[in-house]
């Protein structure tokens, strides 16, 4: 993912969030996009969403300098580098299609758990007892 040339994607994401007041929580506060939101997006908007997350991660990694990038951004940049955006979109689509009971899971969580080693890959498994 590259920093240069992707600013318009970030603008698109901001525009999408402002143009969709129904995606705000009950108190009018922003909420994480979940499978409920994801299923209503066009394929182009899904790609833009993933690209926007990647663009933000690229920026944070570049801006971190010698302090080191934030963990989430580093996971995106290092582990998703070279992964076709459409492949990520299709995997997220497949997750929600195969797990309709998991539509409340945030899209970003699905991406992190399916494509990075930052989180455990088995999102659909129930938590272990006692946790």
Which residue from 63, 82, 83 is spatially nearest to 73, judged by alpha carbons?
63
In a domain? residue 43: yes
**33: how many CB neighbours lie within 10 A of its CB?**
19
Whether 23 is covered by a domain: the verdict is yes
Whether the Cβ atoms of residue 34 and residue 107 lie closer than 8 Å to each other: yes
46 vs 23, residue with greater confidence: 46
Residue 109 lies in a domain: yes
pTM of the model: 0.66
Range of the domain at 61: 7-115
Tell me if 2 is assigned to some domain: no
Spell out where the chain has E strands: none
Across the range 63-88, mean pLDDT stands at 82
Question: What whole-number percentage of the chain has pLDDT above 90?
Answer: 32
- Overall domain count for the chain: 1
Residue 120 counted as domain residue: no
Residues, the chain: 131
Distances (CA, A) of 121 to 110, 112, 117: 9, 8, 8
Residue 82 lies in a domain: yes
Asked, for residue 131, whether it belongs to a domain, the answer is no
pLDDT single digits (tens) 2-29: 444 444 444 444 554 444 444 455 566 6
Average pLDDT value for residue range 60-88: 82
Could you tell me which of 38, 43, 46 has the C-alpha nearest to residue 104?
38
Note whether residue 99 is domain-resident: yes
**Residues 79-106: pLDDT tens digits?**
888 889 999 999 999 999 999 999 999 9
């Amino acid at each position: 993912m590259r920093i240069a040339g992707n600013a318009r994607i970030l603008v698109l994401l901001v525009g999408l969030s402002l143009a969709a007041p129904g995606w705000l929580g009950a108190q009018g506060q922003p909420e994480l996009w979940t499978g409920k939101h994801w299923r209503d997006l066009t394929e182009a908007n899904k790609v833009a969403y993933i690209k926007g997350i990647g663009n933000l991660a690229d920026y944070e990694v570049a801006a971190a300098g010698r302090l080191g990038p934030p963990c989430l951004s580093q996971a995106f940049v290092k582990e998703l580098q070279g992964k076709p955006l459409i492949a990520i979109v299709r995997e997220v689509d497949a997750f929600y299609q195969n797990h309709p009971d998991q539509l409340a899971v945030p899209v970003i969580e699905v991406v992190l758990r399916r494509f990075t080693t930052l989180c455990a890959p088995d999102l659909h498994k129930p938590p272990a007892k006692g946790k």
